[in-house]
Structure 1
Amino acid sequence: MADTSARFDVIIAGAGYVGLAIAVSIAQARPSLAIAIVDAAPEGAWQRDRRCAAIAAAATRMLDQLGCWEEIAPKAQAMTDMVITDSRTADPVRPVFLTFDGEVAPGEPFAHMVANLDLTTALRRRAGELGVHMIEGVGVTGFDTDPAKTNVHLADGRELETRLLVAADGVRSRLRDMAGIRTVKWEYGQSGIVCTVGHERPHGGRAEEHFLPAGPFAILPLTPDENGTNRSSIVWTERTEDADRLVAEDELVFEAELEMRFGLKLGEIHVMDKPHAWPLGLTLARDFVRPRFALAGDAAHGIHPIAGQGLNLGFRDAAALAEVVVEADRLGQDIGTLDILERYQEWRRFDTLQMGVTTDVLTRMFSSDFGPLRMARDFGLGLVDRMPKLKDFFIRQASGLSDKAPRLLRGEAI
C-alpha cells in the first residue's frame, strides 16, 4: 500500500512484530485514526527471517483478539512441559532440578513456539485489512516536534506529519538517540547462537533448559516440517569468542559440539539451517516517552534470552500503548501529549525494570561454575520444585497473565 497522505495520527518506525502489533491494535479499536508504519528494511526482507520465538499465553490471547491467532495456530507448537537442569558439558548425567507443567488453564498452554515468519505474515495481513499504510525501504532521518505535531523526515526526502511518533526500531534504535533518551547498558561477554535442529524421535512438546557454565542452553519444541522431520529450536549461550569460533566452524565440528550439549535422548541430530550468533547484553531506556514520542519493544529494553521474555515484553508494550492511545482518543484527548504518554510509561517502566533486573541476576547466577554457588542454586531449584503454589506463580508470571495486564493480553477488546 502506498502512503496516500502526508498526515497521520500515529506513525510507527519499525515493521517488526511490536510495530505491527501496535498498528493493528489501534486500528482495530479506532478505525478513524490514520496509522502508518515506516520501515528502513528493503521491501520483502522480513520474508527471509527463519528464527522462531516463544509466545506466552497472554500474547496468544492478544493475537487471537486481533484476528491473527487462527492463522498462526496450525503451525504453532504448544509447550506441554518444561524441565530445567544444572550441569557441566561433560557430565554423563544431567539431573532434573525443576519441572513445570505446560498449562495455565485446562487446554491452554503457557507458551507456544512460533516461526517469526508466520507471526509477521499474520500481523501484516491484518494490518492491510485495517488500512494501515506501509512505507517500506526508507528510514527516518530525523524529526522535529512542536506543541501540536511532529514532522518526520524520511530518507527519500518526504516529510510526514503525525500527532504521535512511536519508535519500534530495535535495540540499537536510531530514533531513541534522536530523541535524546539515554540508556543503561552493559554487555555480558556472551553471544546467543540460534539454529534449528532435526532429530529422530518426537519431542512431545517438551522444552528444556540446561544451565551450563558458559550460559543456558535451551531446546525449544517446533512442529515437524513439510517432510515430517522432527524439529527443535536451539538457543545456545556461549562466551562471545567461543560462539564466534563455533558458528565459523565446519558443519561437522559444529554438530559435534552441539551434540555434546543436546545429548542423544531424541536420537541422531542434524543442523537444518546455518547457525547465527549475536552478542548479549542489557539495555534499558531511562525514559520511554517524550512529547509526541514513545519507545516500544527492544527500543525501550533489550534483555538476556535466559527467561525467553524479550518478545513477550514487546507485546506488553504494544498492548499497553494501544490501550492508552485508544482510551485517550475516545475521550477526545490529544494522543501525543506528555501527560497521556506518561500513563503508558508508568504502566510499563516498572515491569520492564523488574524483568531486566531478574534476567541480569539469573544470567550472573547461572553462568558460573563456582562450586558453592552451584550448590546454592541447585538447592533453590529443588526447593521450588517441591512447592506447587510457587511453581504456579512462576508459570503465570512467565505466561504474562495478571489482573493488571492490558486488556488485549487478557483476551479482551480495548
Structure 2
Amino acid sequence: MDYDAIIAGGGLNGLTLALALDSVGITTAVIDAFAPQESLNPKFDGRSYALSAASQKMLSALGLWDDLAPHAEPMVEIKVSDGAAGEMPSPFVMQFGDEDFSHGPMGFMVEDRHLRARLAKAVDMSGVTFRTGQIITGQTIHPTHVTVTIEGHHPLTAAVLVGADGRNSRTAKMAKLTRTGWDYDQSSLVCAIAHEKPHHGIAHQFFMPSGPLAILPLTQNRSGIVWTEQRQVAQNIHSLSDEDYLSILRPRFGEFLGDISLAGERYIYPLSLSTTHRMIADRVALIGDAAHAVHPIAGQGLNSGFKDVAALAEVLCDTKRRGQDLGIHTTLAEYQKWRGFDNALLCTATNSFNRLFSNNNPLLRGIRDLGMGLINSTPKLRKNFVATAAGAAGDRPRLLRGAPL
C-alpha cells in the first residue's frame, strides 16, 4: 500500500490527526481540495477558537503548544447570564472560576491564523505527505485496503481512509454513511472587537431571545464575538456598514469594557445540526464536522473534533503496535464505541440548550433562570459542569491527558 492512512481534508482536525499518527510511525497522506493560500493568511481575520484545557494538553503532547502559547489567552473565569438587548441581565447567573477547576485555566482562546499556521508548519517538517488543491473523486473498499481516486492524479491505497472533510463530507457520502439534522433558521455573526478596558481573561455568554452572544477574551484588549440571530436578521446586520453593525452590537454588548471597535473582518455562518448515524464504515472513519456538526452555543465544535482525533489516533496507534491491520472492523468499532455516544450526547445537549435559551417565553425563561441559579449555588454541580467543558471528565484518550501516544 502507498500509506497506512489517508486523510481526506486538511483542516484543523485532519492536520492534527496526521501529526498524531506520524508521531508513532503511521505513514499518512492528507488530501485537501483547497490551495494553501486559501486557508493560510497571516492577517487577522477575526476568527478564533475556545480550546478546552484537554485540547491544549493534546497540542502540548504533540509539541505544538510552545509556539502557540504567546498567542493564546487563558480563560480564567466564565460568566453566563440571561437577558435581552437594552435590559439588565437576569439576577440568576452561572459563574465559574478557580474554585471550580484547580488545574489551571479552563481553556484558551487562540486565533485561527495562529493555530492553522502552526499545524501547517509542523506538517511541513514531518513525514506527512500533504497534497493540496486535489479532489478525491472516488473510494473503493477491498478486503485488505481502500483505494482513493484523485482527479488528475494516480490513485492511492491505504489500510484506512479518514474523512475530515467537513459537514458536507464526500467521504461520508461515498461510504453511504447517512446523516440526520435540521436547520435552526439562525446564523452566527463572527468577528473580533477591540475595547478600552481589559477583559481579565473572563469569558461571557449572554443568552438573548434570538440566540446567544459569546464574548471571548483574546490577547491584548480584544475579544472574539459569536453573535447569533435569526437567519434573515443576521443577514441584514451582516450587510450593514461597520459603524451600523457596531451600533446594533453595542446595546447587546453593554459598556462594561468601554468603547468597542472592529478588529479584523466580519463573517456569517448559517447554523444547523448535522450528524451521521455512524462514524465508521468498512475501512472508513469520520472525525470532526464530517461526523457531527453542532450548534456553537457551548463552544465545543473544535474540541469535540479534537476528542475524535485523540481517540482515533490512540486506537490506530495501539493496533499498529499489536501488528494488526489498521482498517479492520474491530479497530474502527472500538473508535465508534468510544466516541459515538459522547457525540450523540453533545448533539442532544446543544440542540436542547438552543431551544431552551433562544426564545423569550416567560415560562421557559423562568425555568432556565432557576436552573442557572441552582447550578451556581451548588459547588459540586459547578465543578462537574466545568470539568465537562474543559474536557477533563470521562474516559479520556492519552493525548487529551497530555501524555504521548
Both proteins in one fold, TM over 0.5? yes
Q: Return the offset for 1:128.
A: 2.8
Unaligned 5+ residue runs, structure 2? none
1:9 to 4, 16, 19: 4
Q: Give matches, 1:164-183, under 5 Å.
A: 164-183=160-179
Q: Give matches, 1:70-81, under 5 Å.
A: 70-81=66-77
2:362 aligned with 1:367: no
DSSP 3-state at the match of 1:164:
strand
What's the TM-score, normalizing by structure 2? 0.96
DSSP 3-state at the match of 1:336:
coil
Q: Say whether the 8 Å CA contact 1:79–1:102 is kept in structure 2.
A: no
Q: Deviations over 1:139-185 (max 9, x none)?
A: 11111111011111112232111111100001111111111110111
Matched with 1:134 is 130
Q: Give matches, 1:241-390, under 5 Å.
A: 241-390=232-381
Alpha carbon RMSD of aligned pairs, Å? 1.4
Matched with 1:227 is none
Q: Return the offset for 1:411.
A: 1.0
Q: Say whether the 8 Å CA contact 1:104–1:110 is kept in structure 2.
A: no
DSSP 3-state at the match of 1:144:
strand
Amino acid at match of 2:32: D
Matched with 2:36 is 43
Matched with 2:150 is 154
| Closer/same/farther in 2, CA of residues 61 and 143 from structure 1, 3 Å limit | same
Moved over 6 A (4+): none
Matched with 1:18 is 13
Q: Return the offset for 1:116.
A: 1.5
Amino acid at match of 2:72: A
| Closer/same/farther in 2, CA of residues 204 and 96 from structure 1, 3 Å limit | farther
| Closer/same/farther in 2, CA of residues 298 and 104 from structure 1, 3 Å limit | farther
Amino acid at match of 1:35: T
Q: Say whether the 8 Å CA contact 2:82–2:89 is kept in structure 1.
A: no
Which whole-Å CA distance do the structure 2 matches of 1:326 and 1:406 have between them? 12
Q: Deviations over 1:284-335 (max 9, x none)?
A: 1111111111100100000000000000000000000000001001101100
Q: Return the offset for 1:93.
A: 4.9
Q: Return the offset for 1:50.
A: 4.4
| Closer/same/farther in 2, CA of residues 102 and 191 from structure 1, 3 Å limit | farther
2:104 aligned with 1:108: yes
Q: Say whether the 8 Å CA contact 2:72–2:218 is kept in structure 1.
A: yes
Amino acid at match of 2:261: H
Which whole-Å CA distance do the structure 1 matches of 2:100 and 2:68 have between them? 20
Which whole-Å CA distance do the structure 2 matches of 1:345 and 1:74 have between them? 36
Which stretch has the larger CA shift, 102-111 or 290-299?
Answer: 102-111
Give identity over the alignment, percent: 38
Which stretch has the larger CA shift, 214-223 or 284-293?
Answer: 284-293
Q: Say whether the 8 Å CA contact 1:192–1:237 is kept in structure 2.
A: yes
Which whole-Å CA distance do the structure 2 matches of 1:70 and 1:272 have between them? 25
Which stretch has the larger CA shift, 45-54 or 363-372?
Answer: 45-54
DSSP 3-state at the match of 1:261:
helix
| Closer/same/farther in 2, CA of residues 106 and 383 from structure 1, 3 Å limit | closer
2:177 aligned with 1:186: no
Which whole-Å CA distance do the structure 1 matches of 2:291 and 2:404 have between them? 25
Which whole-Å CA distance do the structure 2 matches of 1:190 and 1:310 have between them? 17
Which whole-Å CA distance do the structure 1 matches of 2:120 and 2:98 have between them? 29
What's the TM-score, normalizing by structure 1? 0.94
Q: Deviations over 1:255-305 (max 9, x none)?
A: 100101111111111112232111111111111111111100100000000
| Closer/same/farther in 2, CA of residues 102 and 167 from structure 1, 3 Å limit | farther
Which whole-Å CA distance do the structure 1 matches of 2:387 and 2:88 have between them? 33
Which whole-Å CA distance do the structure 2 matches of 1:116 and 1:291 have between them? 33
Q: Deviations over 1:342-392 (max 9, x none)?
A: 100010000000010000100000001000110111011011110011100
Amino acid at match of 1:111: G
1:223 to 219, 234, 239: 219
Q: Say whether the 8 Å CA contact 2:101–2:383 is kept in structure 1.
A: no
| Closer/same/farther in 2, CA of residues 105 and 208 from structure 1, 3 Å limit | closer
Which whole-Å CA distance do the structure 1 matches of 2:80 and 2:359 have between them? 16
Amino acid at match of 1:23: A
2:390 to 391, 399, 405: 399
Unaligned 5+ residue runs, structure 1? 1-5, 225-229
Q: Say whether the 8 Å CA contact 1:280–1:304 is kept in structure 2.
A: yes
DSSP 3-state at the match of 1:108:
coil
Which whole-Å CA distance do the structure 1 matches of 2:46 and 2:246 have between them? 19
Q: Return the offset for 1:103.
A: 7.2
Which whole-Å CA distance do the structure 1 matches of 2:332 and 2:68 have between them? 31
Q: Deviations over 1:8-55 (max 9, x none)?
A: 111101111110111111111x22x32111100112222136410000
Aligned residues: 402
2:403 aligned with 1:408: no
Which stretch has the larger CA shift, 102-111 or 52-61?
Answer: 102-111
Which stretch has the larger CA shift, 295-304 or 127-136?
Answer: 127-136
Q: Say whether the 8 Å CA contact 1:104–1:399 is kept in structure 2.
A: no
Which whole-Å CA distance do the structure 2 matches of 1:266 and 1:97 have between them? 19
Which whole-Å CA distance do the structure 2 matches of 1:208 and 1:75 have between them? 20
2:193 aligned with 1:197: yes
Q: Say whether the 8 Å CA contact 2:46–2:265 is kept in structure 1.
A: no
